[in-house]
Amino acid sequence: MTAPQPAGPVVITRDGLDGLVEALISDGYQVIGPTVRDSAIVLSELDSAGALPAGWGVETGPGLYRLRRRDDAAVFAHSAGPGTWKQFLHPPRRQLWSTDADGGYQPAQTPAPRYAFLGVRGCDLAAIRILGRVLGEGAHPDGAFTRTRQALFVVAVNCTEPGGVCFCASMGTGPAAGPGYDLALTEQSDESGHWFVAEAGTAEGERILAKVPQRSASVAEKEEAKADVSEAAQRMGRAMPPVDLPALIRESVASSHWEDVASRCLTCGNCTMVCPTCFCTTTEDVSDLTGDHAERWQHWASCFELDFSFMHGGSVRQSGASRYRQWFSHKLGTWHEQFGSSGCVGCGRCIAWCPVGIDITEEAARLAGVDPDPGQDPA
Task: Tell me which residues touch another protein (CB under 8 A).
Answer: 96-97, 99, 103-105, 107, 134-136, 138-143, 146, 253-254, 279-283, 285, 287, 291, 294, 296, 298, 301, 303, 307-314, 316-319, 321-322, 326, 329-330, 333-334, 337-338
Closest to 83 measured CA to CA, from 92, 72, 74: 92
State in angstroms the smallest separation of the CB of 290 from another protein: 10
Smallest CA-to-CA distance from 264 within 374, 360, 161, 376 is with 360
Report d(CA 23, CA 2) in Å as an integer: 22
Distance, CA of 232 to CA of 173 (rounded, Å): 13
Q: Report the length, in residues, of the chain.
A: 379
Residue among 60 and 326 whose Cβ is closer to another protein: 326
In the bound state with another protein, the residue whose beta carbon lies nearer, of 28 and 313, is: 313
Shortest distance (Å) from residue 199 CB to another protein: 30
Residue 304 backbone phi and psi in degrees, to 5: -85, -15
CB of 14 to another protein, least distance (A): 40
Of the pair 55, 141, the CB lying nearest another protein is at: 141
**Cβ of 139: how many Cβ atoms within 10 Å?**
4
Cβ closer to another protein: 42 or 262?
Answer: 262
Name the residue nearer to another protein (CB basis): 107 or 355. 107
| Smallest distance, another protein to C-beta of residue 278, A | 8
In this structure, what are the phi and psi dihedrals at residue 310, rounded to the nearest 5 degrees? -65, 135
Distance of closest approach, residue 345 Cβ to another protein, in angstroms: 18
If the CB atoms of residues 68 and 299 are measured against another protein, the closer one turns out to be: 299
**Main-chain dihedrals φ then ψ at residue 17, nearest 5 degrees:** -65, -40
State in angstroms the smallest separation of the CB of 331 from another protein: 11
Question: Nearer Cβ to another protein, position 44 or 322?
Answer: 322
Q: How far is the CB of 108 from another protein (least distance, A)?
A: 9
Residue 82 — φ and ψ, nearest 5°? Answer: -70, -20
243, burial (CB in 10 Å: exposed 0-12, middle 13-18, buried 19+): middle
Q: Nearest distance from residue 315's CB to another protein, in Å?
A: 8
Q: How far is the CB of 258 from another protein (least distance, A)?
A: 10
Q: Which is nearer to another protein, 69 or 140 (CB)?
A: 140
What is the layout of strands, in order, in the sheet containing 294-300?
105-107, 93-99, 294-300, 281-287
138 or 374: whose CB is closer to another protein? 138
